[in-house]
Amino acid sequence: MINEVDEVLRSLVKAEVVQGTDVEVLFDAPTRDWASRRNTPTLDMYLYDIREDTRRRATGFIEARNEEGVVVDRSSLPRYIKLAYLITAWTQRPEDEHRLLSSVLACFMKYEIAPATFLTPLLAELETPVGLQIAYPPPEDRQVSDVWSSLGGDLKPSVDLVVTVPMVPAALYEIAQAVMKPMRLRSFAQVTVEGEDPERHLPDGDRSLA
């Protein structure tokens, strides 16, 4: 599912930010070694955090019915996963980087959900909006400065983008179909034979021999 979100972001950024220029759109970790090898203008969208939005977790099932309205299977409700991307611009001049980041902000501030025209077929089948949050303050346990420290790179301007995507658990519960035919009973004759215990017919004096 994450790769599907990557494709949505790539298509949206190329259409509304890059707009046919020679700016590359990548999803690499912006390490110091990676940055030293950049020789073309680049917008990097690094996925650095994945966590569930537990506030939206719900219990229950989604029921699928046949043409007669009979429930044929049940699947679990979707879980909502928040994907945090660190967006940075890499050019030869800071002014150009700021211009790219401004275009990114303008692009994603227009949308609270990903436009349907950019959704992949798999995401479109879910029929659930893919949420977009740009430049929102990150949680206290997820600081951007910590990300740069982990990458070993130099701190530079960045934009935080959070994408909330539904993910459906793979569990599928098939429903036993109702029996529509009348019940048929078949009986079998049983003969009980009463046997005699030979011990009961021994003479009284011979019981000790039994």
In a domain, 209, yes or no: no
Q: Could you tell me the residue range of the domain that residue 59 belongs to?
A: 2-174
Q: Which residue has the higher pLDDT, 8 or 139?
A: 8
Residue 104's pLDDT band, with cuts at 50, 70 and 90, is very high
Instruction: Give CA–CA dist 174/14, Å, rounded.
Output: 43
Q: Is residue 5 within 8 Å of residue 83, measured between CB atoms? A: yes
In a domain, 121, yes or no: yes
In this predicted model, what pLDDT tens digit does every residue of 31-56 receive, in sequence order? 999 998 989 999 999 999 999 988 87
Q: What pLDDT is attached to residue 138?
A: 75
Query: Whole-prediction pTM value?
Result: 0.72
In a domain, 64, yes or no: yes
In a domain, 205, yes or no: no
Tell me the longest C-alpha to C-alpha distance in the chain: 123
* Cα 56 to the center of its chain, rounded Å: 13
In a domain, 200, yes or no: no
Token pair for residue 165? 């995507």
Helix (H, G, I), strand (E, B) or coil at 164: strand
In a domain, 197, yes or no: no
Q: What pLDDT is attached to residue 137?
A: 80
In a domain, 194, yes or no: no
Cβ-based neighbour number of residue 203 at 10 Å: 7
Residue with tokens 């599907």: 4
In this predicted model, what pLDDT tens digit does every residue of 191-208 receive, in sequence order? 655 555 555 555 555 554
Q: Is residue 75 within 8 Å of residue 173, measured between CB atoms? A: yes
In a domain, 51, yes or no: yes
| Count of structural domains, the chain | 1
